[in-house]
Amino acid sequence: MAIVQIVCSNPNTTILPSLGGIRSSTVKLSSVRPFTRELGKRSFRGSFVKAATVVDHNSAASDNLKISREVEDGSDVLIECKDIYKSFGEKHILQGVSFKIRHGEAVGIIGPSGTGKSTILKIMAGLLTPDKGEVYICGKKRDGLISDGEISGLRIGLVFQSAALFDSLTVRENVGFLLYENSNMSEDQIAESVTENLAAVGLKGVEGRLPSELSGGMKKRVALARSIIFDKTKNAIEPEVLLYDEPTAGLDPIASTVVEDLIRSVHLKGEDEHGKLGSIASYVVVTHQHSTIRRAVDRLLFLYEGKVVWQGKTHEFTTSINPIVRQFASGSLDGPITY
Ligand SMILES: Nc1ncnc2c1ncn2[C@@H]1O[C@H](COP(=O)(O)OP(=O)(O)OP(=O)(O)O)[C@@H](O)[C@H]1O
C-alpha cells in the first residue's frame, strides 16, 4: 500500500488554467502561501494550497472497483448534487441535475457534447457555483466555491481535460511540482518518484523534456502522472474523490488502456481488514470513449438537455432500451438526439 499525494492550486489564482490537476481540499484560503521554491534553475511563483492524500492499493488494473453498497443512512454518500441548475447567459446548461457519488464508486458521466459534463464536474469540485440547487459533501451543504469555506473530511481533485502543463518547466518539474514545494522529500526522492510515476503511465526517459517536445497524448499522460504522484513521507489518509475530465481524449487505443487501468489502479476497493469502509477515493470520469466506459467505470450517468436522463451499470449501457442511450451508444443519426 502506498500513499498518493495530489496537490492543487488555489482555484482563485491566475495559475489555475495552467495546472492540469487541481485539488479542492480541506484547506482554508488563509493557508494559501506563495510558492517560491526553486525548480531547477528556474523559479516559479504562485499561490498553492496544500496537498491531499489518497491510498494506492496497488490493485490489479483489470480489477473492477466494487460498486459501493448503499448504506441505508446515506453515510457512504461522499458527494451529492441535488437539483442543480446552471446557465451561462441565455444557455441553460444544467436544469435540475441530481445524483450521488458513494464511497468506492467508479462513475462515468456521459452525454452529447456541450451538455454540461465538464460544468457539473467543476460544480462538484467547487470551482463553479450552481445558480440553484445544492452540493453536499459528506452530508454537509457547501455554500459558494470551495475557497469560500472549509469542509473537512473529503478532498476533491479535478484532472483537467487539457494536459495544462507549465510550458517553461521540464516534465520532471511539472510532475514533481507540488512535491518540490509541499513535501519534505529530497530532490533525489522526488526525481525517483517522478520517474516511477511516469513509468506507470507508460513514459520513460522524458523527464528532461519540455512540454513542447511531447505529443498531445504524452502531455496527457504527464498530467496524469502529476495527478497521482504522492508524498511518500506522509501517512495521513482521508477519503478523496478524483474527477477526471476526458482523461483519454486524444490518446491512441493502447495509451488509453494504460490510462484507464491506471485510473483503476490508483484507487482503493473498499474495506479494511475490519470490514470498515476504506479511505480511498471514489472517482468520476467524464468521457466519450467506449473503451474508457467499459474499462474504467462501473456506473454511468447520462446527461442530456440539462438532466440525468438515464443511469445504470456500465454493462447495461449497450443493452438499454432508452432511445437516447440507444442512439448514443450506437452513434446513430436517427433518434431523439439532434445536432
Ligand atoms: N464559463 C463559461 N462561460 C460561458 N459558457 C460556458 C462556460 N463554461 C461552459 N460553457 C458552455 O456550457 C456548455 C456546456 O459546456 P461543458 O464544457 O460543460 O460541456 P461538455 O458536456 O463537457 O462538452 P464536451 O463533451 O464537448 O466536452 C457549452 O455550450 C459551453 O460553451
Work out the pLDDT band at 148, boundaries 50, 70, 90. low
- Which residue's C-alpha comes closest to atom 31 of ligand 1? 114
Question: Which of the two residues, 292 and 226, has the higher pLDDT score?
Answer: 292
Atom number of ligand 1 nearest to Cα 303: 21
Residue to probe by mutation, ligand 1, list 109, 110, 115, 286, most atoms within 8 Å of CB: 115
Measured CA to CA, the distance from residue 281 to residue 239 in angstroms comes to: 5
Does residue 81 register a pLDDT over 90?
yes
Atom number of ligand 1 nearest to Cα 286: 22
CB 171, CB 224: distance < 8 Å: no
Q: How far is the CA of 247 from the centre of ligand 1 (A)?
A: 17
- Which residue's C-alpha comes closest to atom 16 of ligand 1? 116
Work out the pLDDT band at 147, boundaries 50, 70, 90. low
Does residue 305 register a pLDDT over 80?
yes
Atom number of ligand 1 nearest to Cα 122: 18
Whole-complex ipTM: 0.97
Atom number of ligand 1 nearest to Cα 111: 21
Residue to probe by mutation, ligand 1, list 118, 129, 161, 304, most atoms within 8 Å of CB: 118
Q: How far is the CA of 216 from the centre of ligand 1 (A)?
A: 21
CB 329, CB 317: distance < 8 Å: yes
Measured CA to CA, the distance from residue 142 to residue 147 in angstroms comes to: 10
Q: Which residues line ligand 1 (CB under 6 A)?
A: 88, 91, 93, 113-119
Atom number of ligand 1 nearest to Cα 115: 21
Q: How far is the CA of 196 from the centre of ligand 1 (A)?
A: 35
CB 300, CB 314: distance < 8 Å: yes
Does residue 100 register a pLDDT over 60?
yes
Cell (9 digits) for 169: 518547466
pLDDT at 53: 27
Measured CA to CA, the distance from residue 153 to residue 158 in angstroms comes to: 17
Q: What percent of the chain has pLDDT over 90?
A: 33
- Residue ranges of E strands in 57-123: 77-88, 91-102, 106-110
Phi, psi angle pair for 54, to nearest 5° = -150, 155
| pLDDT tens figures, 173-219 | 999 987 887 788 899 999 999 999 898 778 999 999 999 999 887 88
Does residue 48 register a pLDDT over 60?
no
Cβ-based neighbours of 90, under 8 Å, separated by 6 or more: none
Work out the pLDDT band at 55, boundaries 50, 70, 90. very low
Closest CA to 200 of 222, 179, 178, 232: 222
- Which residue's C-alpha comes closest to atom 4 of ligand 1? 88
